[in-house]
A = this chain, B = another copy of it.
Amino acid sequence: MTPTIPDIVIGRLPVYLRALTRLSQEGVDVTSSHELGQRLGISSAQIRKDLSHFGGFGKQGTGYQISYLIDQLRQVLKVNREWDVVLVGAGDLGSALLHYRGFAERGFKITHVFDAAPEKIGKQIVQFSVQPMDELQETVQQHNIKMAMIAVPAEAAQRVTDLLIASGVKAILNYAPINLNVPDGVNVQYIDPVLHMQRMTYYIP
């Protein structure tokens, strides 16, 4: 594994991993770059090229052993382990994220929830008890947590981000509808469903 793999390739690996996991659940043992490409709308050449960054994983003509490829991709992406995640924001959206089982099922375990609103502190949501913001830094440092989700209003998101980074967080999934400034060495990914909707209306005749 070299540090020169383009970020766009890294971005496609989780998509491959998801499709392979699905094939495996369907009882398929072996697949090809052609079959995978058809499922994903990506060219088979692209898939072979992407996987070649990591040694290829497949032999010419025999296809990919799915379980082996899944193991290898999980190792490359470092998702062959469980990650602890803190959530900041216990409003409607934060509450929905706490109810969503897809994170834990795929290795991302929300361990703590924080909110700035005094009336939310101590509130129980699923198995979580909402903690005040002034406990965030110590909690994150003590448990050596590297990942966070932000589900606060836009105007609070940069302040929360700065606090998370000061506490040692290196990866942030941001649901607040605003772009965040982060230093080198910290990654942010954005989820704003409205942006996706607005991107599609352009094409509706």
Which residues does A use to contact B, with CB under 8 Å? 10-11, 13-15, 17-19, 22, 39-41, 76-79, 83, 85, 92-93, 95-96, 99-103, 106, 108, 146-147, 149, 154, 170-171, 173, 177-179, 181, 187, 189-205
Copies of this chain in its oligomeric complex:
2
Taking the closest CB of chain B, its distance from the CB of A110, in whole angstroms, is 11
Given the contacts A22-B178, A41-B179, A92-B100, A173 and B198 also touching, CB distance less than 8 Å: no
Complexed CA–CA distance, A181 and B83 (Å): 32
- Is B154 a contact of A22 with CB atoms below 8 Å? yes
| Contact partners of A201 in chain B: CB under 8 A | 77-79, 83, 147, 171
- Is B194 a contact of A108 with CB atoms below 8 Å? yes
Complexed CA–CA distance, A106 and B165 (Å): 30
| Contact partners of A204 in chain B: CB under 8 A | 78, 146-147, 170-171
Complexed CA–CA distance, A83 and B199 (Å): 13
| Contact partners of A99 in chain B: CB under 8 A | 92, 96
Given the contacts A103-B194, A154-B22, A177-B102, A200 and B96 also touching, CB distance less than 8 Å: no
Complexed CA–CA distance, A13 and B199 (Å): 8
